[in-house]
Homo-oligomer: A and B are copies of this chain.
Amino acid sequence: MMESKIPVGIIGATGAVGQRFISLLANHPWFEITDLLASERSAGRRYGDVVKWILDDPLPAQVADLAVRRADDGEADARVLFSALPAAEARTLEPLFASKGHFIFSNASAWRMEEDVPLVITEVNPNHLDMISHQQARRGWDGFIVCNANCTTTHLVGALHPLHLAFGVEKVFVATLQAASGAGYPGIPSMDLIDNVVPHSYGEEQKVETEPRKIMGAYKDGRFQFADILITAHCHRVPVLDGHTEAVSVALRQSATREDIIDAFQSYRQLPQELNLPSAPDPAVVVLEGMHRPQPRLDRMAGKGMATVVGRIRPCNLLDWRFSLLGHNTIRGAAGGSILNAELMAYWGKLAT
């Protein structure tokens, strides 16, 4: 579709999410990696020599040969930049790049809840991208920041949104069993995850309880209005490499049978699927039968890691329905979520430089 590929860069390229961006972008039909930005310590060196590659997909040879440049001066050749920065660095560096005209698709949490920053799951709230013009006007930027959601939020909303569209979601109870890769590398010490599980920080729970309300909320005239959904989360880290499992109970505003629920999941086709964007999973939601699925090792790669997998749909004794969901936390839940957002913008012609 694209005549020539759009050059893109990755900020925070050596970390776990940075590596995932590289893996997903290496053979992308629309984007081409031209810039790898990292700490000053790596700057000037060949990427293949500085990265400790931790993915089982091999490091793409052409990327290995790129020279790393320092991230902290806000300079990059590519106008489109994917950010895999830690929150603290994203807080200062992303605005610096945006002020210099760069289009930032960020996986960091730093700006997600800002009142003029779109927090977008491509299937759910592409209309929130209209905020960009307000963001630019308000801040005097030529560039912009668009965030994707927290990994746990992403798949939770991936399963809730079909139900919200069909029946209205009113209350949500969610307990998570999150993979180690969600904490990056080195992340969780192995001594904490051998013969053990670790309760997550309250900060993670707070993200899961608030981000979905922004994402499933309304956008109008430069303002976001949060959805009226009550969420309570219990988050845990478990000895799993990739793939967050979430146990969910929901109260719906309209009554629904089990068949209605399944139908809502299976008929869920949104803009990314309709436009057949390169990274769009189709179906976006995979429904499994069987009381022992989903399982992270078996199901996390559904839709090449971009789908949300749902199973164990059964009545809840307290709310209306309960089910389990699973999704890949560093593909759809991180790098892939940002890339799909960028694909939509590219499709709309808004990434031309």
Tell me the A residues contacting B by CB distance below 8 Å.
Answer: 16, 53-56, 171, 173, 175, 177, 180-181, 185-199, 201-202, 209, 230-232, 234, 236, 238-241, 245, 247, 249, 291-298, 300-301, 311-312, 314, 316-319, 322, 324
Residue of B nearest to A194 (CB): B241
In the bound complex, CA of A135 to CA of B196 (Å): 42
Residue of B nearest to A189 (CB): B186
In the bound complex, CA of A289 to CA of B332 (Å): 32
In the bound complex, CA of A192 to CA of B291 (Å): 14
Cβ B191 vs Cβ A189 within 8 A: no
Cβ B318 vs Cβ A230 within 8 A: yes
- Measured between beta carbons, the chain B residues less than 8 angstroms from A322 are 232, 234
Cβ B199 vs Cβ A324 within 8 A: yes
Give this chain's copy count: 4
- Measured between beta carbons, the chain B residues less than 8 angstroms from A16 are 191
Cβ B318 vs Cβ A173 within 8 A: yes
- A238-B177 CB under 8 A given contacts A188-B189, A295-B197: yes
Closest CB-CB distance, A282 to chain B, in whole Å? Answer: 15
Closest CB-CB distance, A156 to chain B, in whole Å? Answer: 14
Residue of B nearest to A54 (CB): B191
Cβ A195 vs Cβ B318 within 8 A: no
- Measured between beta carbons, the chain B residues less than 8 angstroms from A56 are 297-298, 300-301
- Measured between beta carbons, the chain B residues less than 8 angstroms from A234 are 175, 247, 249, 322, 324
- Measured between beta carbons, the chain B residues less than 8 angstroms from A181 are 191
- A241-B191 CB under 8 A given contacts A177-B236, A234-B247, A312-B199: yes
Besides A56-B297, A195-B239, 19 other A-B contacts (C-beta < 8 A): A54-B298, A173-B249, A175-B247, A180-B190, A180-B194, A186-B186, A186-B191, A190-B192, A190-B193, A195-B241, A195-B296, A196-B240, A196-B298, A202-B291, A202-B314, A232-B249, A238-B238, A239-B239, A239-B240
Cβ B245 vs Cβ A236 within 8 A: yes
Closest CB-CB distance, A312 to chain B, in whole Å? Answer: 6
8 contacts between A and B (CB under 8 A): A185-B191, A186-B191, A190-B190, A194-B240, A199-B293, A199-B295, A234-B324, A238-B239
In the bound complex, CA of A58 to CA of B196 (Å): 16
- A194-B197 CB under 8 A given contacts A232-B316, A297-B241: no
In the bound complex, CA of A295 to CA of B314 (Å): 29
In the bound complex, CA of A312 to CA of B233 (Å): 12
In the bound complex, CA of A297 to CA of B230 (Å): 33
6 closest Cβ pairs, A-B complex = A175-B175, A234-B247, A186-B189, A232-B317, A196-B297, A195-B195
